[in-house]
Amino acid sequence: MKIIIKKEYLALVPRPAEEDYENIFRSIKDTGFDKSQPIVVNQNGYVLDGHTRFIICKKLEIEPTYIVKEFEDQLDEKLFIISTAKDRRHLSVGQKALLSLAFLDIHKEKATQRMVAGVNPTPTLAEGTKGETRIITGGEFGIGKTSVLKAEKIDKLDKRVANLVKSGKISLEEGYERVIEKEKSKSRKEILKTIEKQEGILHGNYLSKIQEVKDDSISCLITDITEGMPLALDQREDYSSEDEISKPLDKLLSALSLKMAKDSFVYIFIKPKQYTAIDIVAKHFKLKNVLVWDKGISSKVPNNYFYNHELVVFAAKGNPWLVKPEEDRNSILKFPRENDEEKPVNLLEYLVENSTIEGELVFDPIAKTGSTLVAAKKLKRKFLGIESTKKNYQKTLIKLSKVVV
């Protein structure tokens, strides 16, 4: 039987803390797999219990033992996964509270199925009043009703914060404080209203048009300076030397510093020779990494190596957290280039999806033909760009009009 990790099932299980993972890893490496605690799988080979141990065994090339458990349907399998996780793992209150929400959702789905089928057995957890279900659910997980309420609030208002609580990186209380502060912020609502009006593409000089952007509104900045920096309204002056790139980039980032949200991300595409841009970015934002975009192309050049890559300077303002799980992120971005004029939209979608949630603003001050804006629109993010050339401005309008969300 082929054993498989099903992402839907893995997502139900809180990941162990880094220290706990290392302890499990060392234990299996030093003493081998404990056959008294086999990996639990269903009849199709999907792992139901022992995800972490199974992943470690694959890395160490150790064959674990398995036991097959059969259930009537996937909902029962999910309940088993959750029940096993809450009983065997050293979870924080926040992790238990969020796990309890998944537990309750499954019971609600089972109740709906019974109702559709015309079956009406004894009322269950999901069929009580809201207050009763929270008390009962909290009791099942050894937490109070208040913790369940807070988890519901976090999960409803901010999935990014919910993921932080679920991963154990922040406590339930810290997560709750974050979402309440966000909910109470009238200025945030005003910003979103402003974004609603501005959404799209602006035509003009980027330094002057940036002043029209609301302060503290940009959640993610993605732009490309590999072809130079536009300095004028009606023409694009291309600069290739490092010094000539640095000066306009410094002006750009200085103008943007107040426009970026408190916790936000920055991605700037540069050529390998434009290394001075890294220092300029670090001057204005917290430098996190320099990613490498592998274009998937090759060519011959005399007495040198062909540049088949570009660099992406990755930085942040404040202390934002990336949305996607760690295993889905890599500093080498392998996205084949589709043509010489534009970045692949799927590459930009990857960055947008990693760094924002629906409704947040993605901004490109040098929009060119609007690929970043297209990626943001497809993912239901707010988007705003600036383009100084009329030709590219019109191209972007056409491209955006063709994106159906």
Spell out the SS3 assignment of 278-339: HHHHHHHCEEEEEEEEECCCCCCCCCCCCCCEEEEEEEEECCCCCCCCHHHCCCEEECCCCC
- Give whichever of 166-175, 275-284, 301-310 has the largest mean pLDDT: 275-284
What amino acid occupies position 173? E
In angstroms, what CA-CA distances link 31 with 55, 64, 221? 16, 13, 48
Q: What is the pLDDT of residues 10-55, one digit of tens each?
A: 888 888 878 888 999 999 999 999 999 999 999 999 999 999 999 9
DSSP structure class, residue 359: T
Q: What is the pLDDT of residues 250-295, one digit of tens each?
A: 989 999 999 999 999 999 999 988 888 999 999 999 999 999 999 9
Q: Please tell me the least confidently modeled range out of 123-137, 300-314, 336-350, 375-389.
A: 123-137
By CB atoms closer than 10 A (0-12, 13-18, 19+), residue 140 is middle
> What is the number of helices (H) and of strands (E) in the chain?
16, 11
CATH 3.40.50.150 maps onto the chain at 187-401
Closest to 392 (Cα-Cα) out of 251, 248, 230, 249: 230
pLDDT of 232 reads 36
pTM above 0.75? no
Q: What is the largest CA-CA distance in the chain?
A: 80
Share of the chain above pLDDT 90, in %: 41
Average pLDDT of every residue of the chain: 84
Backbone φ and ψ for 372, nearest 5 degrees, come out as -65, -40
Q: Residue 376 is encoded by which pair of tokens? A: 């943001």
Q: Are strands 260-270 and 309-317 parallel, antiparallel or unpaired?
A: antiparallel
pLDDT of 121 reads 53
pLDDT at 228 over 70: no
Enclosing H/E stretch for 371? helix 371-378
Domain 187-401 is classified in which CATH homologous superfamily?
Vaccinia Virus protein VP39 (3.40.50.150)
